[in-house]
Amino acid sequence: MESRRIKCLQESTPHVPSDTEPKSALTEDKAPDYSPVLQKIVWRNVVIFTYAHLAAFYGLYLMIFKAKGLTTLSGEYLQYAVTVMRGTLLVAQLVEALRYKSEGRGFDSR
């Protein structure tokens, strides 16, 4: 276990190779192995993404051709308002977290 820890420390420290040391595998004539990895198709994910995209296209069709203009504009305004409120709440949460930490009550202030 100790030798593994020392090896990790040796690999993480910057090192300038000298002329007497053997060259690494990347600098030799042998190219690295870039063989393709066989990936499985997860059919459950394919079905879910297909359904989600079809539902989005159907909603876009309804918004363009079936809904009235006022409905579309009010929906866009509602989405904008929710987005602005979310951003405001996230900034307020960040300010409160920084204030809490600056008062010395954070997790790492033991």
Q: Which residues contact 36 (CB under 8 A, 6 or more apart)?
A: none
Most confident stretch, 17-21, 46-50, 84-88: 46-50
Domain ranges of the chain: 43-102
The amino acid that residue 94 corresponds to is L
Output the pTM of the full model: 0.41
- Check residues 26 and 105 and name the one with the higher pLDDT: 105
DSSP state of 24: P
Confidence of residue 35 (pLDDT cuts 50, 70, 90): confident
Q: For 28, phi and psi rounded to 5 degrees? A: -80, 180
Q: Residue 86 CA to chain centroid, in angstroms? A: 19
> 75 is written with which tokens?
């929906």
| pLDDT reading at 53 higher than 80 | yes
